[in-house]
Structure 1
Amino acid sequence: MSGHGFHVHGPHDHAVEHAAHGSDKFSGNIAVMTAILATVGAMFGYQGGATQNDAALFKNNAAIDKTEAANRWNYYQAKSNKQNLAELAMTLPGADAERYKADVARYKTEKDGIKKDAEKWEASSAEWNQKSDAAMHQHHQWALATTAEQIAISLAAITLLTHKKWLQYTAYGVAAAGIGLGAFAWLHVDPIGALALKLGMGAAGH
């Protein structure tokens, strides 16, 4: 403990520190690998946070547009009520039927415009919701990729202590899987979803 408090090292910090005090090539290679994986993992983590923020922003926009659509529909309903009253007034004895007939026609025209606006806002809200869902799904992909890199770094740290080749290859494999997941997230590709859809279509065909 120092005068400034505790300092907690991550697995890659231990790996690099261990290699710095060692002279064998094996430790040096693992240290370089962990440093690279730490950088890649940080990039994946940043992308994951960015897509999560995008998802929240898109969901907020969807809520705003949904509220606007609800306001338009309320306005539409108010016009409908006025139209109904005008139609009722036309049937009353002594009423100016032509005047109320003109009011009914005006309310119908106004309602058409209000309806179009409401449907436009509803469509916009649905579009924002779709964007939010897509961004959140991409966030989950980035999170998986980041987790894989963290696991690979931890395996590399254990490899430094044990000098087991199979652990080294396992770390390489997990790291490669994480990079693959990151590539899928970057390209907006969902291999699991595509496979599930393909299997579902195949089952439906039978």
Structure 2
Amino acid sequence: MSDEYEVHGPHDHAIEHAGGHGGDNSASRLAVMTAVLASVGAIAAYQSGANENQALFFKNEAAILKTEAANQWAYYQAKGEKQNLAELGAALTDPASSAHAKFISDTQRYKTEKEPIRQQAETLEKQVKKDNEVSEALQHQHHRWAQATTLIQISIALAAITLLTKKRWLQKLTIGMAVVAVGLFGTALMGW
């Protein structure tokens, strides 16, 4: 004799009862719908997390590039200040002196050195804008996936309650919620 006892909960009895009597196909359909919803929910949950991670990655990249762009603008400004000092030196020195010629030469050199720095800073700022836009789009899509996941989980819970209570109106609510959840899944899949 075995000393182990099996204790069945009300949910187990409801499922056995529903499955054991061949007259009720709605319980079988709800069980299949629940299994399908669980699979779709798993996909939606994975995609939600993946989109959120990608959104955070692009947001982080944008922040790093924003810092690099700020550094380039500071470097550009420093070159501009040196150019201004060289121009001031040229204005204050005798035009016939060698110092004046050096100041004029420095003015031209700083002016030439500034242009690539400006172009680099502007390129970085364009990339920052692009990365921020990608991050925002991914974050929006993450919200769609999360909404779909939540509604799918609610549908699964309603299906379990429906199996226990055998209420027809609850079955219709469950199916309606599942349709809305799958619709949200579709919008997330399409990127809307």
TM-score normalised to structure 1 length: 0.80
Cross-structure match for 2:15: 19
Partner Cα separation in structure 1 for residue 12 and residue 189 of structure 2? 29
Using CA pairs under 8 Å that are at least 6 residues apart, name the structure with larger relative contact order, 1 or 2: 2
Gaps of 5+ in 2: 1-9
Aligned-pair CA distance for 1:26: 2.7
Moved more, 98-107 or 113-122: 98-107
Cross-structure match for 1:172: 175
Moved more, 89-98 or 107-116: 89-98
Cross-structure match for 2:53: 53
Identity of aligned residues (%): 49
Look up the SS of the partner of 2:92 in the other structure: coil
Cross-structure match for 1:154: 157
Decide which structure has the larger Cα Rg and report it.
Answer: 2
The letter of the residue matching 1:111 is K
Which of 109, 114, 119 lines up with 1:111 in the alignment? 114
Q: Tell me the alpha carbon deviations over residues 68-123 of structure 1, each in whole angstroms, 9 at most, x when there is no partner.
A: 10110110011011101100110223453222112111111111111110011011
Aligned-pair CA distance for 1:28: 1.9
Cross-structure match for 2:191: 188
Distance change (3 Å), C-alpha of 1:16 and 1:33: farther
Matched, 1:97 2:96: no
Distance change (3 Å), C-alpha of 1:39 and 1:16: farther
Partner Cα separation in structure 2 for residue 27 and residue 112 of structure 1? 73
Query: Following superposition, which runs of at least 4 residues in structure 1 exceed 4 angstroms of deviation?
Result: 14-18
Cross-structure match for 2:34: 34
Q: Is the 8 A contact 1:38 1:153 kept in 2?
A: yes
Gaps of 5+ in 1: 1-13, 190-206
Matched, 1:87 2:87: yes
Look up the SS of the partner of 2:191 in the other structure: coil
Partner Cα separation in structure 2 for residue 78 and residue 61 of structure 1? 26
Q: Is the 8 A contact 2:145 2:185 kept in 1?
A: yes
TM-score normalised to structure 2 length: 0.86
Partner Cα separation in structure 2 for residue 187 and residue 133 of structure 1? 16
Cross-structure match for 2:3: none
Distance change (3 Å), C-alpha of 1:121 and 1:20: farther
Q: Tell me the alpha carbon deviations over residues 127-169 of structure 1, each in whole angstroms, 9 at most, x when there is no partner.
A: 1011111111100000000111111111111110111122111
Partner Cα separation in structure 2 for residue 160 and residue 65 of structure 1? 55
